[in-house]
Amino acid sequence: MWSSKKPSSSNKLRFTGTLWIAADIHLGPDGPKTASGFYQFLNEAAAHCDALILCGDIFNAWIGDDQVLSPEPWLATALKQLQQFGQQKTLYLMRGNRDFLLGQQLAEAVHGTLLPDQVLISTDYFHFVLTHGDELCIDDHAYQRFRRIVRNRGVQAVFHALPLRWRRGIANHFREKSKAAGRHKSYSITDVNTQACEQLMSRHNVKSLIHGHTHRPALHAMPPQPETHRRVVLPDWELDHAQPPRSGWLSLQERQVSLHQLGQPTIECDLSPEPAITMQPISSN
């Protein structure tokens, strides 16, 4: 059974029970098969886990919570599916690089809780940092400059003041520009920086880091102690345009941590067990 108290102002979250984590689903009007697969996943999660964290890029683009008031057909379906899950089990949402404008209105609409960009999570056996991961790609200087600009509250206020139609056009423009730029970037630049990961783990005094964003699911040994320190990369979802199709999630149940991927053997993640620590549940922001 999952347990928690009322949210506090901390960025720490305490779990008991079965926790599932998924990221990079990229729901949108051009991904009907991906959406269908994700809705099946929500049904499975409702049957088998106590809590679910969607760790950023839930949507291919999110241009403001006012979309909830008059959603397009694909979004109305997505909201309904998330609402149904949120009414049955505990649902947490995190922002990603594509849906960094997710807000409290959306979280409340789907009976979920919005989390900060980095969360320190404790279970009875594990202690780790969870983040979407784009802030760790520090070698991509152009993206990090863009990230600082679009996350500025003043810039966001101006953007939110625009008509929905204009915002959608701007989002499409930047998404196409990002795709074009990505074709000319090296594999290493678009991956997380190992030193940035080490620093994040050291700052929070943890041996494990879990993130999405890079679409490169794997279990990595990490310096400075590769025999005990681990980084888990979550799978992305693409069932419409990729061959072979991709999807997956991470499950944590007592001492067992498993990385599940469509069409691939399950990877048992040998995270170092740690004593449970006293932590208060997280607040939305």
Q: Roughly how many angstroms between the first and final C-alpha of the chain, as a whole number?
A: 26
Position 165 scores a pLDDT of 85
The two tokens of residue 88 are 């049955």
Mean pLDDT score of the chain:
88
Sequence-distant (6+) residues with CB within 8 A of 146 are none
Position 189 scores a pLDDT of 85
Cβ 106 vs Cβ 93: under 8 Å: yes
Position 274 scores a pLDDT of 60
Q: Cis omega (within 30 of 0) on the bond before 32?
A: no
pLDDT tens-digit series, residues 248-285: 999 999 889 999 999 999 999 888 766 444 433 333 33
Position 195 scores a pLDDT of 95
Overall average pLDDT of the 149-158 stretch = 92
Predicted confidence band of residue 39 (pLDDT cuts 50, 70, 90): very high
Type of residue at 33: K
pLDDT of 60 over the 80 cut: yes
Predicted confidence band of residue 180 (pLDDT cuts 50, 70, 90): low
Residue in the block written with tokens 């990090």: 144
Q: Give me the percent of the chain exceeding a pLDDT of 70.
A: 89
Cα-based distances in Å from 154 to 115, 149, 159, 161, 246:
21, 9, 9, 11, 37
The two tokens of residue 171 are 């989002």
Question: Distance between CA 254 and CA 273 in Å, rounded?
Answer: 10
Overall average pLDDT of the 214-233 stretch = 92
Domains by residue range for the chain, with CATH: 12-138+193-268 (3.60.21.10)
Own/partner pairs, 170-173, CB within 8 angstroms, 24+ separation: 170/63, 171/61, 171/63, 172/61
Question: Distance between CA 4 and CA 48 in Å, rounded?
Answer: 18
Question: The pTM is what?
Answer: 0.90
